[in-house]
Structure 1
Amino acid sequence: MEIQRLTDKGFTTKTFQKDAIIYEPGMQPRYVYFIQSGEVRMVTISDDGKEFIQGVFKAGQYFGEPALLIDKPYLAFTIVNKVSRIIQVNRQDFFALIENEPDFSMSLIKTLSRRLFYKSMMLEELANEKAEHRLLTIINYLLPDVAVGAPLKVTRQELADMTGLRVETVIRGVKLLSKKGLISLSGGKIIRLE
């Protein structure tokens, strides 16, 4: 749903500072969060403090709806990557959007399906021990969302957090994938050619 449509309906935005935690595991869902500007990451954190990125959400996207839809506690942290303006839509208003806005309902189904596909893909990749294969899979998954000739706006650290690899392994893997012609680099950035 377009953020402008929400503001036109009278929903207000709230500003979250960098590194703010919006929700954490065990909390009961109260809202679906629509990002007007900024960026938020959803992560699980291991006992030793290592983050595993479940997803990164940017302006125009939303998060928090699965837990709200089935009324189950959150399983991950959502942490603000950079100052963000977010519209918090409560349960009643969110269900009204689903019931009264058919285009939003279809968009929600597609969004949930993409996320389910991503989770399934990553589970399969994590079972594969080859770092190079994991890395190529996540890069190929992310590249279609980038314009042709544009760089992939994901850091090496974020790639490491998404694949469960060390940053050093990601750096070596990216160079190796480039040498093999499986990805394209320009100025050290992964770019989409086609």
Structure 2
Amino acid sequence: MMTIQKLIDKGLKVKNYPKDSIIYEPGMHPRYVYFIKSGEVRMVTVSDEGKEFIQGVFKTGQYFGEPALLIGRPYLAFTISNIDSQLIAVNQEDFFNLIKHEPDFSMELIQTLSRRLFYKSMMLEELANEKADHRLLTIINYLLNDIATGENLKVTRQELADMTGLRVETVIRGVKMLAERGLIKMVKGKIIKQGK
């Protein structure tokens, strides 16, 4: 993974974004790819009624905004800092230089874009499924893949609702039902990754 320190060593500046800051919004022309030195950022679309649908959550060491920059199309979603965050904005020229001159980064970029495409395809299929418990189990299992056995899933019921298009109450009932059926493990109200 492209280290943040390498970007700082190249002279790129770190900028602070307080919690709930909008980094970019739909329709804006892309100028940067944002690398997260610290913090967490959510990418959301917002319905006409004001309901958020989470497209993705990006954490320390990750980056976002590259698809729009790569193809020169406007951003389609809001990106908002979930907590106080420090970001490094990498302009198009510097980002393309990273791709050209850092083979490890180029391969990691391909893998990152592939994971995101897989996630989007999975969610499209799940959103077409009317069964809330199936939708919920699919996103929980997907998120559990990124953590170690015995760790708890660090996502709120509201975030699960925003990711699946369900109501919070439905998520609460669904999580309880999935645990009762033994499909997920719960300890002290937290979803835990089980060993295989």
TM bin, normalised by shorter chain, reads over 0.9
Q: Which residue of 1 aligns with 2:58?
A: 57
Tell me how many residue pairs correspond in the alignment.
Answer: 194
**Unmatched 5+ residue regions in structure 1?**
none
Q: Which residue of 2 aligns with 1:16?
A: 17
Q: Which residue of 2 aligns with 1:128?
A: 129
Offset at residue 6 of structure 1 (A): 1.2
Q: Which residue of 2 aligns with 1:94?
A: 95
* Matched position secondary structure for 1:56: strand
What amino acid is aligned across from residue 19 of structure 1 in structure 2?
A: D
Offset at residue 12 of structure 1 (A): 1.3
**Cα separation, 2, equivalents of 1:28 and 1:9:** 25
1:139-150 equivalences under 5 Å are 139-150=140-151
Offset at residue 193 of structure 1 (A): 1.3
**Cα separation, 1, equivalents of 2:12 and 2:185:** 42
* Matched position secondary structure for 2:40: strand
**TM-score normalised according to structure 2 size:** 0.98
Offset at residue 33 of structure 1 (A): 0.1
**Cα separation, 2, equivalents of 1:146 and 1:111:** 17
Q: Please, what is the CA RMSD of the aligned residues?
A: 0.5
**Cα separation, 2, equivalents of 1:60 and 1:46:** 29
The reply on whether 1:37 has 2:38 as its aligned counterpart is: yes
* 1:57-98 superposed Cα distances (whole Å, 9 cap, x missing partner): 000000000000000000000011000000000000000000
**Cα separation, 1, equivalents of 2:3 and 2:123:** 29
**Unmatched 5+ residue regions in structure 2?**
none
The percentage of counterpart residues that share the same residue type is: 76
**Cα separation, 1, equivalents of 2:10 and 2:145:** 32
What amino acid is aligned across from residue 117 of structure 2 in structure 1?
A: L
What amino acid is aligned across from residue 92 of structure 1 in structure 2?
A: E
* Matched position secondary structure for 1:82: coil
What amino acid is aligned across from residue 95 of structure 2 in structure 1?
A: F
